[in-house]
Amino acid sequence: MDEEIKGESKGRNRFFPSVKWNFYFKFKMDDVILDMRLKTFRYGTEGGPLGFSEMKKAELVFVPTPGAGHYISAVEFAKRLIHTDDRFSVTLLHMRSSLHPHTDPYNTSLLASETHLRIIDLPPVDPPPSHLIHKSVEHYILLYFESFIPHVKDAITHLMSNPDSVPLAGLVLDFFCLPMIDVAKELGLPSYLYLTSGAGFLGLMLYLPTHHSQIGTEFEDSDPDLELRSFVNPVPVRVLPEAVSNKHGGYAAYIKVAQRFREARGIIVNTFSELEPYAVESFADGQTPPVYTVGPVLDLGGQAHSCSDRVDHGKIMGWLDAQPESSVVFLCFGSMGTFDAPQVREIALGLERSGHRFLWALRLLRLDGKLGGSSDGTELSDILPEGFLDRIGERGMICEWAPQMEALSHKSIGGFLSHCGWNSILESIWNSVPVATWPMYAEQQLNAFGLVKELGLAVEMRLDYRQIGGEVVMAEEIDGAIRCVMEHDSMVRKKVKEMGEMSRRAVMDGGSSSKSLGRLIADIMNHPQFPTNTVTN
């Protein structure tokens, strides 16, 4: 506990530069362990209470799902909100999952640096039966987080019943937490969806209930291309998320989530209007909840990954420092992109043929079939082509987990072979690094399609590859994609650079995303269910 208080006092306190007392305690109530930081008294330098008695204050409860692509993005958005407007504080409900055991060091670091953020660890729940994950990851994840609903309700009820608490202005829910809209409704609170994917994907989710009411069943690869409002071009079914064709719970899970989208009071999207103008404009139809484009929301300080013991940070950054400018191709496939031995060999051969330097974040498919993680005893050198490591020498580096954002911002990186997770796309654009597309799971095929066919912002390697298909992409194709994405004067590189500049302007004062965030803040503060929240301390 002393450690924690020390951490707090060391942390930045840009909102209340005055002396303050913090109370940190844990207690257990109704089976919910509340792990709270209360900022109950704040004193000005003159010793008198600060004059914010007239200031309307608001607390938002964030319910993100763990997993790098969702959790970090939601936390960064919470940080942006409280750094933009000091009337806000955030309580984050932390759902611990066996799929993503790495959130604790990150949470500790957040509590030390963010004075308007508190984290409540919800009690653990039993994961769904493990065989279900092999049938549909999305179904499994949805089931897992639905089990937390009673704990979410207990935690929020407790917060609301505390007369000293800052009034709750609403819930900010992750995609997989949308069923928790029912909790918000029951408690009379508005819900906002925080979407960690792009506006193109939002168009698909808004369309799915219509598909379900008309067709009532899963998509088939042989179905005709789809006319989606968020895409200029017809969209092949093969680039839709695998879940919508999945007959073992995936389709049902997606429909269940999609049906809740229009019940949100607002949809906050981690994109910016200059990136997906066609999609963003398509939502102004009077039937879709207001869409707030607030991105790119990125972990610019690398706070999440600096806490990870998987990061061999110094070694990787030192190696990058020693490479010439724009000479390195970076390969990284998200938090769940894994390969089996034959595919690893082909990637290695492709890299070797291309002649380019490389940084390769590689996670092997475990022999026990579990997702993610590293090799279960198999040595990497047993899998790689014979003599590969000797021939490559200092020309390449292989790691299990790369500090991706930092690597992409390094001058030596010239191109990115990516699984096209939405965060990875935003990070590459922010750093003006062109992507070659190798989508693997979730909505990555749709992202890749959008980047290549709609926006001309990526080099096409694959658009409809699926990790679960077991197909092996051959070295020749990988070599070709690497050579193409590493070209120095390509049109794609020029466009990515322009878009990168736009992405930085979007989040500056007066930029499109800043304005959108301002509209969101006004909506939260002026919500009719939140009229009397003046705190008189």
Contact status: 388 vs ligand UDP (CB under 6 A): no
Query: Is residue 453 within 8 Å of residue 459, measured between CB atoms?
Result: no
Does the footprint of ligand UDP cover residue 428 (CB under 6 A)? no
Examine residue 422 and tell whether it contacts ligand UDP (CB under 6 A): yes
DSSP 282-305: HT-SSSSPPEEE------TT-HHH
Q: In this structure, what DSSP letter does residue 340 have?
A: -
- HEC string of 5-54 equals HHHHHHCCCCCCCCCEEEEEEEEEECCEEEEEEEEEEEECCCCCECCCCC
Q: Give the x-and-dash track for 17-56 against ligand UDP (CB under 6 A).
A: ----------------------------------------
Using CB under 6 A as the binding rule, whether residue 405 contacts ligand UDP is answered as: yes
Sign of the CA dihedral 390, 391, 394, 397? negative
404 binds ligand UDP (CB under 6 A): yes
Cβ density class 403-426: b for 16+ within 10 Å, e for less: bbbbbbbbebbbbbbbbbbbbbbb
**Interface mask toward ligand UDP for 335-374; x: CB under 6 A:** xx------------------------x-------------
Minimum Å gap between C-beta 532 and ligand UDP is: 39
The number of angstroms, rounded, from the C-alpha of 292 to the middle of its chain's C-alpha atoms is 16
Q: Is 68 in the site for ligand UDP (CB under 6 A)?
A: yes
Q: Does 402 bind ligand UDP (CB under 6 A)?
A: yes
Site size toward ligand UDP (CB under 6 A) is 19
- Output 244 or 405, the one with its CB closest to ligand UDP: 405
Rule CB under 6 A: choose which of 421, 439, 500, 511 binds ligand UDP.
421
Backbone angles phi, psi at 228, to 5 degrees: -110, 135
Residue 269 lies near ligand UDP (rule: CB under 6 A): no
Q: Tokens representing 51?
A: 């004059």
Contacting ligand UDP (CB under 6 A), which of 8, 32, 64, 69?
A: 69
Candidates 115, 273, 323, 423: give the one binding ligand UDP (CB under 6 A).
423
Nearby residues of 463 by Cβ (< 8 Å), 6 or more positions away: 238, 239, 437, 439, 445, 448, 449, 452, 453
Report the 10 Å Cβ neighbour count for 170.
Answer: 22
Contact 413, 434 (CB under 8 A): no
CA 138 to CA 244: how far, in whole Å? 10
- Which among 30-38, 275-283, 312-320, 421-429 is the span making contact with ligand UDP, rule CB under 6 A? 421-429
User: What is the closest distance, in whole angstroms, from the C-beta atom of residue 427 to ligand UDP in the complex?
Assistant: 5
Q: Which among 289-297, 379-387, 397-405, 476-484 is the span making contact with ligand UDP, rule CB under 6 A?
A: 397-405
Among 92, 332, 461, 521, binds ligand UDP (CB under 6 A): 332
Using omega within 30 degrees of 0 as the cis cutoff, is the peptide bond preceding 124 cis? no
Does residue 427 touch ligand UDP according to CB under 6 A? yes
Binding site for ligand UDP (CB under 6 A): 68-69, 305, 332, 334-336, 361, 401-405, 421-424, 427, 442
